[in-house]
Amino acid sequence: MKKKSIISVVLAGVVALGLVGCGGASTSASKDSKNDKVIKIGVTPKPHEEIVNIAKPLLEKEGYTVEVTEFNDYNQPNTAVEEGSLDANFFQHTPYLNTQNKEKGYHLVSVGAIHLEPMGLYSKKIKSLDDLKEGATIAVPNDPSNEARALKLLAGKGLIKIKDGELVTPKDITENPKKLKFNELEAAAVPRAIDDIDAAVINGNYAIEAKFNPAKDAIIIEDKNSDAAKPYANIVVVKDGNQDKDKIKALVKAMTSPEVKAFIEKEYNGSVIPVF
């Protein structure tokens, strides 16, 4: 082969490789562009999934595809956002998020508060606190932030006294005049135990799912205007570093839209309260 021919072959190979490289970059850029228009969000059922479904058409009008994944526990949604299989989740309040970050080494942040679900005490056996007998058993969530929240609700109504602190447990009860017993359960399981116990402190979303109306059926309920309730607004959560992505900003805008606010106020009639 002549020297000129060899050079031509080499140059042709270089050009071909360059084209393949450009094609790969183009394919990668195209894939990234598509991902930027897909929002993957994890939720627990009521009211979170219902609220997201109101925001979904608003995002679709902006050219986004919204993929909603439903979870029935409080552990998987944060793992999924931390690992990147979800862009965001919507199910928790700030004290719970802070506990998860600390205990599991996650890097998750809130990008917006959406609503408050007042925690309440429910029962199928009693109608008022006066009916609560000595030695009665009360079920409470077993995760640190919600258990502390439940105990503070009971302490606020004079049923018990507890030590000062953020994450109190039954071990921090200093006075228990009715000798109440506490059954610590995973939050989703608390409503299912209500037939077997005297009363249960239930998170608002699980109370709604169990067909309770918090505004009407709770024996006692958090004061929505109290300073104690404010940290428990439910938030949209993403991995730290993703806050400024266009699709996350679009998600927050849709979730705090007049349409979502009107839906919450009409649909839940005080059982779920918008905070934006």
Query: Quick one: tokens of 146?
Result: 């919600």
Which tokens sit at 254? 């849709």
Do 183 and 125 share a structural domain? yes
Q: Identify the CATH number of the domain in which residue 203 sits.
A: 3.40.190.10
Residue 268 lies in a domain: yes
Q: pLDDT for 43-83, tens place per residue?
A: 998 899 999 999 999 999 999 999 999 998 888 999 999 99
Whether residue 21 is predicted with pLDDT greater than 70 in this model: the reply is no
Whether 27 is covered by a domain: the verdict is no
Task: Give a yes or no: residue 18 inside a domain.
Answer: no
Scored b (16 or more CB within 10 A) or e, 132-143 reads: beeebebbbbbb
Q: What number is the average pLDDT over the span 257-275?
A: 93
Number of domains in the chain: 2
Q: Is 181 in the same domain as 200?
A: yes
Confidence of residue 250 (pLDDT cuts 50, 70, 90): very high
Residue 23: per-residue pLDDT = 52
Q: Is 24 inside any structural domain?
A: no
The pLDDT of residue 226 is above 80: no
Global pTM reads 0.74
One domain for residues 48 and 180: no
Q: For the chain, where are the alpha helices, taking DSSP H only?
A: 3-35, 50-61, 76-83, 94-104, 144-156, 204-209, 214-217, 246-255, 258-268
The reply to whether 103 falls in a domain is: yes
CA distance 89 to 77: 6
Are residues 106 and 235 both part of a single domain? yes
Domain match, 144 and 210 both = yes
**pLDDT at 40 > cutoff 80:** yes
- Please report whether residue 152 resides in a domain: yes
Residue 6 covered by a domain:
no
Contacts of 52 (CB under 8 A, 6+ apart): 41, 43, 66, 68, 90, 255
Read off φ and ψ for residue 86, nearest 5 degrees.
-125, 150
- Residue 139 pLDDT more than 90? yes
212 with 253, same domain: the answer is no
Can you give the residue range of the structural domain that contains 41? 37-118+231-274
